A = this chain, B = another copy of it.
Amino acid sequence: MMSYMKRDSRLSGVLHVLLHMAAAETPMTSEVLARAMDTNPVVIRRILAGLREQGYVRSGKGHGGGWVLACDLKKVSLRDIWSALGSPPLLAIGNRTETPGCLVEQAVNRALGKSFADAEARLLAQLGKVSLATLVADLKPSMAAHHKETL
């Protein structure tokens, strides 16, 4: 029948960018990052601007400028990044109205609300358990394997 609201992939995208930065030794320009993410440099800057405000990354202008990580990967969780993105909604579905006058709707909200809150809390807990360092560690083996393949 219908529709299918598109999923927000900013978290995924930002992580991608951050891992690339973690792997690089010199600052990466928005242009390079944009190519990796198949998007526009301005988009990259927009997203990273938020992270910079919270100290996760730093940016430099001019020659040799670009973006570098500015945090301890072991201490930053995926939840922190999600939070830095402005805590965008995790669930795609929700209640029609938050404070309905209709008793029927109130009953619906009670029933759904509980499940929603539960799922959200659980997902957050999971994200809180994974650090950027974990991701990097998870990445290395596959990089090595790939190297081997392409020898």
Contacts and interface: CB of A to CB of B under 8 A. Distances in A.
Contacts of A138: 107, 110-111
Nearest to A3: B88
Copies of this chain present: 2
Interface residues of A, number: 60
A34 interface: no
Looking at A11, A95, A107, A112, the one whose CB has the most chain B CB atoms below 10 A away is: A107
In terms of DSSP, what is the predominant structure of the interface of chain A? helix
Interface string A4-29: 11011111110110011001000000
A1 interface: yes
17 contacts: A2-B50, A2-B88, A3-B8, A4-B88, A5-B5, A5-B89, A7-B89, A7-B91, A9-B95, A9-B96, A20-B104, A78-B112, A91-B92, A103-B142, A103-B146, A107-B138, A116-B123
